Amino acid sequence: MTVPNGTRRGGAPNRGSAGGGAAGRGVAGGGAASGGAGTPEVPRPRKGPARPPARQAARPRKGSGDSARPRGGSPWTPWLYLLPALVVLGGLLIYPIYQLGLISFLEYTQAQVSGGEPTTFQGFGNYTALFSDPQFWQVLLATVLFAAACVVTTLAVGCALAVLLSRVRALPRLALMLAALGAWATPAVTGSTVWVFLFDPDHGPVNRLLGLGDFSWTYGRYSAFALVLFEVVWCSFPFVMVTVYAGVKAIPGEVLEAAALDGASQWRIWRSVTAPMLRPILVVVTIQSIIWDFKVFTQIYVMTGGGGIAGQNLVLNVYAYQKAFASSQYSLGSAVGVVMLLILLAVTLVYLRLLRRQGEEL
């Protein structure tokens, strides 16, 4: 007589198989239950083939470079594209600067230009003669103060008109833009001549409107500098206005509306909201204004007749011109040019360094 699996002859079920064949199979797979209690052992993990290790990230091939560079491209490929621009910049900037520095270390006067005397190396002799001249330090101080006044006034006028452009209607905005671009496009010689006529003591309309009679603006030192400052600001503010206006239009309107709803005045909105968001743009226009206003030449030379009475309105550019061409001391004029270049580079680098310390991204 066949006995069913998991039962005895008397029909009593086997203790180790309580709960069905599943438990019995679990016991058979993992070993018999200890003491016959009927509780199956926890099955041990099966020994199988080891899992393959996780695949490592594929390493970039040697010489593959960034994704922006074509696969298999040479590292010199970007420089080949930049080569035409670098050649032009080298011809227009690097070579003249090299010649300027070279002449500043030589004795180079009219005698050397005409070939009557040989050119000799002077080392720092030209710089020593320049720094020992008291007039140089007076001109340098006047140039720094005049350029600072021009930069501050230009930025103030340009930023104020940029904010005004963002608030007026289309027709006044168009008229103001055309007038500003007309001033910007006017050549410096033409603009300076027009301003001299406007402030002429005999025929100028400004003195008549102000009731100044025959007052000469170019006779006094400070009045002449003020007249030149007006002209410099007049032809410089359009660049600041257009650039800052583009930045103002890029600011989300919700930000300005939120500041206005919080009760902030227009000056407070500009100082706390608009100006910080426009800081990268203001950096650019400030550096450009410093460079342009520090090397002003045409306006001073035309409006003050070459530097004013007894050189009272000289700036470094006009001073260098007089040394080089009026006195035929080309080496001294070159030394003044090198000093101006170094001053502008130092001012620009210091300004950028201060902004970097404040965490600004340029």
Mean pLDDT of 119-137: 92
Residue holding tokens 């599943």? 22
Q: What is the dihedral of CA 211, 199, 145, 143, to 10 degrees?
A: -150
- Assess contact for 146 and 138: CB atoms under 8 A: no
pTM: 0.73
Output the CA torsion sign for 221, 224, 228, 233: positive
Average pLDDT, the chain: 81
Q: CA–CA separation, 327 vs 182, rounded Å? A: 37
In this predicted structure, which of 52-66, 113-127, 185-199, 312-326 has the lowest mean pLDDT? 52-66
β-bridge pairing 120-121 and 106-107: antiparallel
The pLDDT, as a whole number, for residue 31 is 40
Nearest residue to 233 (alpha-carbon basis) of 278, 192, 190, 204: 192
| Residue with the larger pLDDT of the pair 99 and 37 | 99
| pLDDT at residue 50, as a whole number | 53
pLDDT higher than threshold 70 for residue 62: no
Q: Enumerate the β-bridge partners of residue 107.
A: 120
Hey, what are 171's tokens? 């027709």
How far apart CA 144 and CA 153 sit, in angstroms, is 14
**Band of residue 358 on the pLDDT scale cut at 50, 70, 90:** low
Q: Tell me, what's the pLDDT at 16?
A: 41
**pLDDT above 80 (res 100):** yes
Residue with tokens 């005049």: 146
Query: Using CA atoms, how far apart are residues 362 and 287, in angstroms rounded to an integer?
Result: 13
- Rounded distance between C-alpha atoms, residue 326 and residue 21, angstroms: 118
Residue 26 above 90 pLDDT? no
